[in-house]
Structures are given as structure tokens and as C-alpha cells.
Chain A
Amino acid sequence: MMTVGKSVERIRAVVTIHKRDLRLALFGPVLHVVTTSSIVIAIVIIRNYLNYIRSNGIYPMPDLFSFPFRWAIITIGVYLAFSTVVTISRERESGIMELLFYGPVDHIAYVVGKYMAQVTLYLMILALYSVCFLIFSWMAHVQISASFSFMILMSVFTGGYLIAIGIFVSSVSGSVRNATLVFLAIVIVALLLQGVQSWLSNITPESDYYNPVLLLQQVVSWTQIALTWLSPFSYLNHGVNEMLRGNMKAFVGTIALAISFCLIFLASSVLGLKFRGVRQ
């Protein structure tokens, strides 16, 4: 009886945190600025494709909307995860978190509430993007392929995973500054590593004897292999690519992995919050 009562209380706390965060994000201007910016990024990419088709006459590809859509959702996913990092760290720094924990909020309710709020926002924005891409499709007579729907499905899980990473970073960080720096470093490394690898491979080493360029190339290559197993961005790319190859087993496997890592990071966030404490 005690357990049921506690669970109900926890669910109530989750719903309250969820509603509060959702309201704060939806009624603030920043989310809408980022949403518009990410659609603008997608439009720039689509415009380049259409210009290419106009000038060259032809452009074969698996799906014209796949790449711009991925960039739009990566931008918004990073923003949502980043806003979680800042919100949680700020609540800890300002003492709001401590105050909440004097009430009916516990570690699990806090982490789940925060996570659910961001995921709900993410789903709402995904729906908005889908409408935008339908309009693009209607305007440019570009068909929406079945793979596009699968990509949206995949992005739900990878987006959720990215938000879980954000929650984890903020739950173990001491201050807003630390949490922000760590999270931005993770995102930048994950996104830029591939570019860095190709850039490094273009640098000509002067010899193979203890050469720092060769060393860096090797270290970057190893880091990239490790990141392939951790990064939500590479999960998104891998899952979408396998789905486009018709390998639905790998697609489902990638979703399962994203869910597993998401749960691991959420559980680690709860433990991290307990370990780190709610006080500044």
C-alpha cells in the first residue's frame, strides 16, 4: 500500500515537472527561434539540391529530404539536450532543486520529469517539421518516400538518447559552466570528428618516425570507432543508412541499442544525482 502510494506520488511529481518545463519552453521565444533556424538550415540544403537538379538536370539519391531533415533534427536535438543541461544545472545552482527535494520530488521523479518534458517537446517539433517537409514536398513535387517515415521513427529514439546524455551530464556536473562546457565538448567532438579525420588524412606527414600527424590520425580513428558505439548522431546515420539498404534487422537493432543506452544514461543520471547531491 505504501509502495503504491509512493508511486502515485512520484507520478504526480513527474507530471508536474513535465508540465512546468513544457510550459516554460513552449511559451519562451528561444525554442521557436531555434526551430525556425533549423528549418532554415534544411531549406538551404534543399535549395542547393534543387539548384543542382535545375542546372545539371539530374540528381540520383535515396531520398532528397533525408539529409536536410537529419540536420534539422540534429540541431533541435542538440538544443533540447543543451537546454536540459542548463536548466538542471541552474536549478541546482540557484537552490530550486534542493527546494523541490524537500517536497514530494525524489531523484527518479526529477530525472524522468525533466526527460519526459524534453522528449514531448522533441515530438511536437518533429510533428511540426513533418508538416514543413510535407509542404516542401507539395511545392517542389518531390515525393515523400516510405523511408522518410522510418527516418522520423528512428529520430524519435536517437533524439531521446541525446536528451538522456544531456540530463546525465548536468546531473553529475557541479556548475552551469562546467555542465555547458562538457556537453558542448561532447557534441562538438561527436560532430566534428569525421571532418577532423578526413582533414588529418589530407595532411602529409614528413616522415613516419614518431610523427604527431600519424599519431593524431590513429587516435582520431580509434575515438571515432568508440563514438560509433556511443554517439546518437552515428546511431541516426547508421540506422537510416541500413534502412535505406533494406536491412530492417539492423534498423531495429539500432533502435534497440538507442533505447538501451538511453535507459543506461537515465539510470546513471539518477545515480549521478544521488552521488552528486542536490545542493550546490
Chain B
Amino acid sequence: MRKIIGALLVMGICSVICGATVGMVYAQGSDEKREEFVYGVNAFNGSVYHGTFIPPSVDTLYLLADEISIVSPRTTLLYYWPVTNEYKADWDTLSENVEGVLEITSQGQIIASLQPRDYVIQYPKGITRGDPEIFLGEDARTKYEQWSEELQAYRLAVAAYYEASRIFTTTLDDKIEEGDITSADDVLVSAPVRPAEFVYSSTKVYRGMPVTLSPGNYEIRLRNSDGEVVENSEKKLVVFRRDRVGVGYTAIPEDKWTTPEDTKRPDEIIYVRSNNVLYLEPYFESEYNEQHFVHLETPQAPRFGNVDWLWVKEGKFIPNDLQISHGNMWLRSISFEDYMVRQTPGKALGYEILEWQEGISQGMRARSPDFSAFRLVLNRQSQDIGLHLVGDNDVAVSGSSRTVDVVRDIGSGELWLPALLPVAVGIALVGTRRYTLRTRRAAITETSTVK
């Protein structure tokens, strides 16, 4: 029997090792570059388009459901980068589109055959500030030209501004001498105005297949003009969607402005110290299957065994009031305000947080606020209060609730007291048993002595 079990174990280990090596090994050396077929991917991650690629060693591609993502079959030079344990692409040396039709299959049936199209991805309000827009075909070229013209106009405006500034500076002294400038306001009025920052961002016009699918498991492959499937082009495709949406908060303690904490899970408890001031900055967030989302952004990440969930921060927003409750009773509401942070003058390190208006009135340079948040003053009476964002119709926004728990500051010694309970139970039980045994033994000894 032992021999049989031993033989089975050896066979199992061998098959695991063989399977692993066959699935894993790809290159002949670490510094070698080789020409390979890859899928370039511009995957929408809920807030921006994330550019990545799928090397032959990765067998599954992850995309977000019901959103346009771009898959571009390419040939490039791949090399292995041991520092991060992944393949890198040398796009500068070689980046060729591979012509063909991208076939998407589900349960053996072809559900879509996609031709390559021109596309451009743009962020009209800036990459970190607004939603991206994707344009396909002729629209892509038109939009790219529009962006190029606006960029050119901006460059001209900046050049004109610098020229006007130069002239303004050189003629300022003359104007003062001539008596045209009598106050600081005169300087400000006649000074040239700098053009607004150019935040409109765009990619070049690229080529790829736009993929929009409902959630599910699919397969993809590239079929060339000869009707053959291109080598290494067969991949699994997992299309997923967010599981939940909610509102997260960046919680900034007043005395630790540089180390904020995020509370992402709805109904989470925010444990705080008493006599504390918190600033809560809300943001939209979505919850995804961690495995899926991580592999959407980093396809070469190792697969993890556990199925966990991941809250992903999306966009900031200007909310209505924050309602504070205790149990079922509404206590008060807090309004959303702008704040500025001022470095404490002098040698002492530190800063103070001021309301934006207050900062301006105290002589701070007029600039956009450092952050906007709800200011929450917490003390012993704030125990177990509930926080809820209020929507337009005075209903709490789903996923925005949190509980605040003001924790008492107890000494380390005091905290060990509950450990005495199991000790006491143990002593009582073992002691009782020993006492009973001793009493019984004594009784038996007494009985035998009497006999």
C-alpha cells in the first residue's frame, strides 16, 4: 500500500513540475529580444484608458463589460525583465500592426468578427479630471485634427503672452515715469493675462479593434487574410463588470494632514481618538473582483488563489450635505467647504488648515483650494454616530454610510485584565478537580485505615 501511495505521489509531483514548466517557460535567456505577436490593449478601467499588452505567456485577457476597449494585434520585440518578473515590449524598435479579423467566440460559436479601425482617446477636461472619450473611424481623425488645432492655438497664445509680458516688463518703468501707473491696481489691469492651462489631452490616431461585450467568458483569435489563425493569437477573454458602487472617503485628521486614511467599504466603522477633527473628502468608487481588475491593468501579474474584492477609487464630486445621525435620529448636517493648508511660519514644523475664505482674509495668496471636504469635530459625545451623504431628493446616497466610533484611550496594563478571565476559569476548574481528588483520596485512605 505504501509503495502504491509513494508511486502516486511521485507521479503527481512529476506531472505538476512538467505542467508548470511547459506552461511557464518561454525564452531561452533573460537578455534576448525576440519578435513576437502580442495584443496591445487600451482597456477602460472605469475612469481612464489603461494601456498594456498581452504577451504569449499570458493566456487570458480581462476587459470591462459594456465599455469600449481597444485590442490591437501587433508584432513587437519582447524581452524578459527579471527585476519585475515580466515581459517588456520594445515598441520603439518594432511596433507593426498585424492585419486580420479578430474573431470572438463564445461556447464554440463566433459572436463577432471585428475589423481594425482608427481610434483616438481624448480627455477634454484633462486626464485626471474628467471622463475619457473614444472616437472611431473618421471621427477619430476629425477629433485628432481638432485637438491639434487647439494645441497649436494654445502654443500661439502662450507665445503671444510671453511676448506681451516681455513688452509689458520693459515698458513698465517708462509708464511709471510718465505717471500712467499710480497704484498696484494699474499694474494688474495693464498686465497681460496668461492663457488658461491646456488640459485637453489626446492620443495619436492608432489602429485597433473596438471591443464592447456583455459580462461572460469568451475566446479570441486573429484570422489573417489567408484564413489562418495567427500563431499565439488564441486567448481566453473574461469580460466583467463592477459588483457594487459606493462612496469612499479620504479621512484627513487635522493634526496629520500628510497621512490621510481611506475608508472604502460601505458601512465601515471609522475608529477615532477623542477630541479630534476630521476632514472627509468623498469620492465615487466601484468594487470589482480583485483577480479580474488587477489582471485588466497588469495582465502579467501572478494569479492569486483567493477570490477577493477590490474597491477602486474613481472620481471626486461635489456632494450635498453630510448628515449626522445617532441611531434613527438625525442630529445635524455639515456642509461641504473648501480648505487651504498653511505652513506654520517660523522654525517649528507644522501647518494649519483654514477655510478658504479665512485663508484669503488672513493674507494667503489667492489660489484654488487645497482640498474640499466635510469638517467633523469629534469628542466623547460623538460615540457611535452615523454619517450619510444626502442626495438631491434628501435621501441618503447608497453606499455612503459610515459609523464613527470614538475609542477611549486606555492604558496598556488595563487592556490585559480580560486575560485574567480564562486564567481564573482554569484555576477554578483545575483547583476544584485537585481538591475533589485529594478529598476522595483522603476519604479512601481513611476508610482503608478504619478497616
Main secondary structure on A side of the interface with B:
helix
Known contacts A139-B410, A215-B17; A29/B430 CB under 8 A: yes
B422 lies within 8 A of A128 (CB): yes
* B-side contacts of A162, CB under 8 Å: none
Choose, from B226-234, B331-339, B400-408, B442-450, the stretch at the interface: B400-408
Whole-angstrom CA separation of A214 from B407 in the bound complex: 46
Q: Do B408 and A139 have beta carbons less than 8 Å apart? A: yes
Closest residue to A228 on the B side, CB-wise?
B305
Q: Which residues of B contact A225 (CB under 8 A)?
A: 303, 305
CB distance A131 to B421 under 8 Å? yes
- Cβ-based interface call for A192 (8 A): no
Does B426 make an interface contact (CB < 8 A)?
A: yes
Query: Are the C-beta atoms of A141 and B407 separated by less than 8 Å?
Result: yes
Chain A residue with Cβ nearest B255: A57
- The answer to whether B304 and A224 have CB atoms under 8 Å apart is yes
Asked if A215 and B422 sit within 8 Å, CB to CB, the answer is no
Residue B430 contacts which of A27, A54, A215 (CB distance < 8 angstroms)? Answer: A27
Q: Which of B389-440 contact A (CB under 8 A)?
A: 402-403, 405-410, 412, 414-419, 421-423, 425-427, 429-430, 432-433
User: Given A27-B429, A36-B423, A224-B306, A62–B269 Cβ distance below 8 Å?
Assistant: yes
Of B37-45, B103-111, B213-221, B270-278, the segment with at least 4 beta carbons within 8 Å of chain A is B270-278
Task: Name B253's contact: one of A58, A131, A222 (CB within 8 Å).
Answer: A58
A199 to chain B, nearest CB (A): 12
Among B115-123, B138-146, B260-268, the stretch in contact with A: B260-268
**Is the pair B429, A60 in contact by a Cβ cutoff of 8 Å?**
no
Complex Cα gap A246–B287 (Å): 13
Total A-B pairs, Cβ < 8 A: 207
Residues of A within 8 A of B29 (CB): 207, 209
B85 at the interface (CB under 8 A from A): yes
**B27 — which chain A residues lie within 8 A by C-beta?**
207-209
- Interface assignment of A256: CB less than 8 Å from any CB of chain B: no
Taken residue by residue from 271 to 308, chain B's Cβ proximity to chain A (1 for < 8 Å, 0 otherwise) reads as 11100101000000001000000000000001111111
A36's nearest neighbour on chain B, judged by CB, is B422
Provide the residues of chain A in CB contact with B267, threshold 8 Å.
62, 246
How far is B30's CA from A238's CA once the two chains are assembled, in angstroms? 39
Contact of B261 among A33, A49, A59 (CB under 8 A): A59
A57 near B422 with CB under 8 A, answer no
When C-beta atoms are compared, the residue in chain B nearest to A139 turns out to be B410
Cβ of A204 to closest chain B Cβ, rounded Å: 5
B91 close to A (CB within 8 Å): no
A182-212 contacts to B, CB under 8 A, are 193-194, 197, 201, 204-210
The residues in A between 40 and 69 inclusive whose CB is less than 8 angstroms from any CB of B are 40, 43, 46-47, 49-50, 53-54, 56-64
Which residues of the other chain, B, contact A40 by a CB distance below 8 angstroms? 416, 419
Q: Is B7 an interface residue (CB 8 A)?
A: no
Stretch at the interface among B18-26, B60-68, B353-361: B18-26
Would you call A64 and B269 a contact (CB within 8 A)?
Answer: yes
Q: How far, in whole Å, are A43 and B421 apart by their CA atoms in the complex?
A: 13
Task: List the 4 shortest-distance A-B pairs measured between CB atoms, nearest first.
Answer: A32-B426, A224-B305, A60-B263, A207-B30
- The 26 listed contacts between A and B (C-beta, < 8 Å) are A27-B429, A50-B410, A50-B415, A53-B272, A53-B407, A56-B253, A57-B255, A58-B273, A58-B278, A59-B271, A60-B263, A64-B269, A128-B425, A135-B418, A141-B383, A142-B405, A143-B384, A143-B403, A197-B302, A201-B85, A201-B302, A206-B82, A208-B80, A214-B24, A215-B17, A228-B305
- Interface of B toward A, CB cutoff 8 Å: 16-17, 20-21, 23-30, 80, 82-83, 85, 244, 251, 253, 255-256, 259, 261-263, 265, 267-273, 276, 278, 287, 302-309, 383-384, 402-403, 405-410, 412, 414-419, 421-423, 425-427, 429-430, 432-433
